[in-house]
Structure 1
Amino acid sequence: MFRKLPGDEARNLVSTTPDTAVVFRPAVVKTPAILTILTWAWRMISSLVRTTWRHPIAAFLTTAPIVLTALYGWRVALLLLAPPLTGLIAWALLDRPTFARHVGYRLLAWWRLIWVYRRHWQPTMIVSGLGRHLRGRDYLPKLGKITCTSWADQVTARMLNGQAVKDWSDRTDHLAHGFGATTCRVAVLKSGRVLLTFPRHDPLAVPLPALAIPAAPTLGPVEIGKREDGTPWLLKILGTHILISGATGAGKGSIIWSVIRALLPALAAGLVQVWALDPKLMELSYGKPLFGGHYAATPEACADLLDAAVTLMQERAARLAGVQRTHTPTEQDPFVLVVVDEVAFLTAYQQDRDLKRRISAALATLTTQGRAVGVGVMAALQDPRKEVMNIRNLFPDKIALRLDESEQVDMVLGDGARDRGALADQISSTPELGAGVGYVRLETSPDPVRVRAAFVSDADIHAMVATFTVGGAA
């Protein structure tokens, strides 16, 4: 039995069937029509002002014909608009790069904003879980500025209060498919704002031939390939250590030989020495004459060469102590780059415990003390697990080529690298598409950058050996 309600409450009860619970009708507050009209007008005006400010060229090209036609007729409008349109077409034909930078990409950004992102923003945010639909109202992250480059769309978004960047990085697949892109990368702009990068095509899909040898000796950063944005990939050599990880056929040799190729003039001038450890006997042996006797292949020889590098480092440190804090390469005191092709063979798979201990201790000493005195280490390996390479955190700069498992990405590049877009486990295993493609994370930046190293063929290596010798050009 229901208790009788006082007053007029009984008429606010709703019951469709006798068996259902009693439901109270919510109070409805009617908004005056004038407030609704003013709200919509304010939103429309602010949207027009914002669009005109961000996309002035698109706004002019879309509104000018309409305004001129309404004021003077279509003939006068065509007469007035023909010269600027002819000038734009001529500019595009004669100087396409500058036209694309100043006009083309701005128009493309406006079109992508209207046709792709604003059109699909609400359903993508709701379905992916980044937005909320509560009590008939959508709470969505705010779509910000759209910028187009030659290869990608960069979209800024303001997160909802209480959201974290990880909420976005965990939904990169949802965002990519929602906006018709192959991948999506998330980066932090500032508090509350994220930058979403949606590639339109892959600028690194075509293999790069070996780069030209520098005309003058250079100690870096050396150019060894191309970044995804089309700029040269410059790799720092002095004052750092580099770890390269990738599966078989991922292109580790492309990075190693591109670095050696870029250092050839400095190598010939005596400013750099490359000490090569080649336990596989298949990679660095091609350039053995370039190393001036600093080449080792057997585990015993590798241990001796590493011990010699430690001795050189300690002697140089004792000599520079109290004199200077950083090393400046000279012909009498060159920079030494220790290159280890397959470091796991020496540190994890070595059966001789004494050799394994010597090699691990030497590598740990070099990576902790060698930067300031001009001794660098570049090590390559296939398996980045801690039990295989327990000193991987001693390498400031890391490169992840194609990897077999998604967990290995964070092992190489650090925690959260894959969430920020370093999809090294999804790189193609086809040599033409994926060899030499990877992600680099530098000591100075936590955000991974997609790159591709130039391919140095056997013929290129033989030509390098025939042209350069240690101590001078042949």
Structure 2
Amino acid sequence: MFRRLPGDETRTLVSTTPDTAVVFRPAVVRTPAIISVIIWVWRLLAGLARAVWRHPIATAVPVTFGVIGIVYGYRQAIAVFGVVLTSAVSWALLDPDSFRAVIGRRLLAWWRLVWIYRRHWQPVMIISGLGKHLHGRDYLPRLLRVTCDDWSDRVTVAMLAGQAVTDWTDRVDHLAHGFGAASCRISTLRPGRLMLTFPRRDPLSIPLPAVPIPQTAEVGPVEIGRCEDGTPYRLRVHGTHILIAGATGSGKGSYLWSIIRGLLPAMRAGLVQIWAADPKRMELSFGRDLFGPCYAATPDECVELLEAAVKVMQERADRFAGTRRTHAPTVDDPFIVLVVDEVAFLTAYQPDKQLRARAIAALATLTTQGRAVGIGVVAALQDPRKDVLTIRNLFPDKIALRLDEPEQVDMVLGEGARERGALADHISPRPDLGAGVGYVRLEASPDPVRVRAAYVSDADIRVMVARYAGEGCR
């Protein structure tokens, strides 16, 4: 015999007959039909309003043709549709850039939202662990918006309450493969909001020719190449120190020579001096006539050059004390750029312990006190380990080119850089695809930016030497 008991009465029930089954029947509260209808209508109207707000063009087009069809007949609607379609195709053929900016990207964003992200959102979130399935209900981060540009999709997401950014950065591989992208990069918009960037293609896969020499003498940001979104990349040199790390053949010379190339007019005007320490005697020696007496090749000369920069720094600090807090380049006090190629030879591989200690002491002094008085250090090395360059954290701005190991990315760019999408260990070793490609992390922003420096060829350097020799360090 079966007894059905409502609610929680079964908790206190004790059965002494083994053949008697107890069946639990939960209490049911009947909702009036009018309330269910009101809730359903409210959700329908809210969904329609949300669709119109998020996709005004995609909703306006079918509504407009529907209204024309009802008022004037469907033949007129088809005729209008044909005229609009013909006009759109003509616009796309005659001026593809403006068509892509006004209509094309919006249509692409709507299609990617519907077909890629919204369709796969629930399984990707659940399987990756960013969403939770509890008691038959899914708790998912909200997909707010999708925008497209020429190379990537940018997805705006509202995190679940209690989530942290690290919960997402730990799962960039899950997100990339889940939505069919080569990689995923995460940046924080504001508390609780993230921007996920999914590249559709790689605009940096083609080598870049040398950037033209500027026409004006400026010490501002130097254009050295191109960002991943296709815009020119300008690197701030004055008022900072830059560390460039990358394996052999990764393109460190492209950054060094692009910086030098961009400062040549200011060097001729006397606003900039470029001092070069070249212990390898290969990279910078090709344009040694640009640097004049401020070029050093042997270990002894390199250390003496570093210590000479320290003396200039201390002399300026004595003069500037109590009168100014920042440096403005002038002919009397020019901005000094100290370029050190393969700095590890001076700080770790130098067999002379005294020279090694002097080099480390000079670099530490310059990187801690130099930028306030107009002395910047641009150092390049292959091995970013701490025992190779103990003062790497004294460089505010860092550039990671192709690296051999995933752990080296955080060594160069700082903790968490690889989780944010700086996959420097995935850069192609082929010179045509990966030389000069790197991730830049600036002092003012924790998010790495993928760039590619222009290639300055031997012919370009010869032209630079012919035009600007003897005007560097007077």
- TM-score between the two structures when normalised by the length of structure 1: 0.92
Q: What is the alpha-carbon distance in structure 2 between the residues aligned to residue 6 and residue 290 of structure 1?
A: 95
Per-residue displacement from partner, 1:79-120 (whole Å, max 9, x unpaired)?
A: 334444444333323332222222111111111111111111
- Deviation string for 1:194-253 (max 9, x for gaps)? 111111111111111111111121212010001111111000011100011111111111
The equivalent of 2:328 in structure 1 is: 328
Counterpart in 2 of 1:179?
Answer: 179
Q: Which residue of 2 aligns with 1:69?
A: 69
Q: What is aligned with 1:397? A: 397
Alignment size in residue pairs? 465
Distance 2:400 2:37 in 1: 56
Work out the CA distance in 1 between the residues paired with 2:207 and 2:229.
15
Amino acid corresponding to residue 170 of structure 1 in structure 2: D
CA distance in 2, matches of 1:11, 1:411: 60
Aligned residue in 1 for 2:374: 374
| Counterpart residue number, 1:318 | 318
Asked if the contact 2:347–2:360 (Cα under 8 Å) also holds between the matched residues in 1, the reply is yes
Q: Is the 8 A contact 1:12 1:25 kept in 2?
A: no
The 5-angstrom pairing of residues 51-450 of structure 1 reads 51-450=51-450
Q: CA deviation at 1:322?
A: 2.2
- Closer/same/farther in 2, CA of residues 12 and 415 from structure 1, 3 Å limit: same
Q: Does the CA-based 8 Å contact 1:403-1:425 persist in structure 2?
A: yes
Deviations, residues 264-301 of structure 1 (Å, cap 9, x unaligned): 11122222111111111110001100002211111111
Do the aligned partners of residues 11 and 257 (structure 1) sit closer, same or farther apart at CA in structure 2, a change above 3 Å counting? closer
Bigger drift between 262-271 and 204-213 goes to 262-271
How far apart are the structure 1 equivalents of 2:40 and 2:140? Answer: 18
| SS, match of residue 293 in structure 1 | helix
Structure 2's unaligned 5+ residue stretches are: none
Q: Normalising to structure 2: TM-score of the pair?
A: 0.92
In structure 2, how many angstroms separate the alpha carbons of the residues matched to 1:111 and 1:465? Answer: 53
Q: Which amino acid aligns with 2:415?
A: D
Structure 1 residues 37, 384: CA separation in 2 closer, same or farther (over 3 Å shift)? farther
- Inter-CA distance 361–140: structure 2 relative to 1 (3 Å threshold): same
User: Which amino acid in the other structure matches residue 61 of structure 2?
Assistant: L
The DSSP-based 3-state class of the residue aligned with 1:372 is helix
Considering only aligned residues, what root-mean-square deviation do their CA atoms show, in Å?
A: 2.5
> In the TM superposition, what is the alpha-carbon distance from 1:48 to its structure 2 partner?
2.1
Alpha-carbon offset, residue 33 of structure 1: 5.0
SS in 1 for 2:402: coil
Q: Can you list the C-alpha shifts for 1:148-184, whole angstroms capped at 9, x where unaligned?
A: 1111111111111111111111111111111111111
- Find the aligned partners of 2:355 and 2:413 in 1 and give their Cα distance: 28
Structure 1 pair 69–263 and aligned structure 2 pair: CA distance change class (3 A): same
8 Å Cα contact 2:437-2:451 kept in structure 1: yes
Q: Is the 8 A contact 2:341 2:379 kept in 1?
A: yes
**3-state SS in 2 of match to 1:337:** strand
The structure-2 alpha-carbon separation of the partners of 1:247 and 1:6, relative to structure 1 and needing over 3 Å to count, comes to: closer
CA drift of 1:437 comes to 0.7
The residue type paired with residue 229 of structure 2 is: D
| CA spacing shift, 1:59–1:6, aligned 2, 3 Å | closer
Percentage identity across paired residues of the two chains: 65
One-letter code of the match for 1:151?
Answer: W
Secondary structure (helix, strand or coil) at the match of 2:405 reads coil
Indicate how the Cα distance of structure 1 residues 420 and 32 shifts in structure 2: closer, same or farther if over 3 A, else same. Answer: farther
Write the distance in 1 (CA, Å) between the matches of 2:349 and 2:27.
Answer: 74
Contact 2:4 2:23 in 1 (8 A): no
Post-superposition CA distance 1:368-410 (Å, at most 9, x none): 1110111100001111111111111111111111111111111
CA distance in 1, matches of 2:239, 2:262: 17
- CA offsets per residue over residues 4-40 of structure 1, 9 Å max, x none? 9999967999xxxx99x98855555555555444434
CA distance in 1, matches of 2:30, 2:165: 38
Q: Deviations over 1:344-374 (max 9, x none)?
A: 1100111111000110000001111110111
